[in-house]
Amino acid sequence: MNDIKKDNTEEKILVAAQKVFIEKGMDGARMQEIANEAGINKALLHYYFRTKQKLFEAIFKMVFRNILPNLMEMVYSDLPIETKLERFIEGYIDMLWKNPFVPTFILKEMNRDPQFLATTIQGSGIRPDEIIAMFKREMEAGNIRKMDPRDLLVNILSMSIFPIAAKPLLSIMFFDSNSAEYSTFISNRKKTVKEFILNSIKP
């Protein structure tokens, strides 16, 4: 059967590496820090993941796979579009707010290797075409106004992701760095973003 020790250590490494990479980025992360965080030493790290690059790619894929989970539910469920959007926006903002460094991490490291990014997306289960097609159907059925469905998707993602990625900036600009106030601001956005979008796509 599967070896307990091995899985355990590999798991510990992945957790530690995820934490450090997300916080510091590929360039800022140190293998030593990851080893410390995992409670092992550096040589063992290289034993499991031969190079920093390979470890980084494993983490990037992991993080990316978790970054757009409930997006495809919009396609595969059979609810009215308003409900779909409501559920996605709410769930998505909630998820991001629990992992506030993830958006910046993805944006940061996205430019590193376009080929690697492409295969990562392909292996992630996201099917942009199907989301676009779903929006198109809703437009043709007259449930929402006609527009470029890609714009609609991008606008939803923008308004959900950006305010969390730009937290340090926005929280200074609007709330004098008061973290609690920024938290309620984001929480309220689960409602206001939904309204803003529904308002704009009324047929």
190 burial (CB, 10 Å; 0-12 / 13-18 / 19+) is middle
What number of CA atoms fall less than 13 Å from residue 113's CA on the CB side?
12
Are 68 and 91 in contact by the 8 Å Cβ rule? The answer is no
Q: d(Cα 152, Cα 148) in Å, to the nearest integer?
A: 7
CA distance 200 to 193: 11
Interface size with DNA, residues (CB under 7 A): 20
State the Cα torsion 124-76-162-129 to the nearest 10°.
Answer: 70
Please report how close the Cβ of residue 29 comes to its own copies at its closest, in angstroms: 9
Determine if 180 is a binding residue for its own copies (CB under 8 A).
Answer: no
Give me the least distance between CB of 40 and DNA, in Å please: 4
Question: Any contact of residue 163 with its own copies (CB under 8 A)?
Answer: yes
Q: Are 153 and 138 in contact (CB under 8 A)?
A: no
Among 173, 178, 187, 203, the residue binding its own copies under the rule CB under 8 A is: 173
The reply to whether 44 sits near DNA by the rule CB under 7 A is yes
Structural tokens at position 193: 């973003």
By CB under 8 A, tell whether 3 contacts its own copies.
no
Q: Interface with its own copies includes 128 (CB under 8 A)? A: yes
Q: Kindly state whether residue 69 participates in binding its own copies, applying the rule CB under 8 A.
A: no
CB of 188 to its own copies, least distance (A): 7
Tell me: does residue 151 bind its own copies (CB under 8 A): yes
Q: How many helices (H) and strands (E) does the chain have?
A: 12, 0
Instruction: List interacting residues with its own copies (CB under 8 A).
Output: 24-25, 27-28, 101, 104, 106-108, 110-111, 114, 117-118, 121, 126, 128, 132, 145, 147-148, 150-151, 154-155, 157-159, 161-163, 165-166, 168-170, 172-174, 177, 185, 188-189, 192-193, 195-197, 199-202
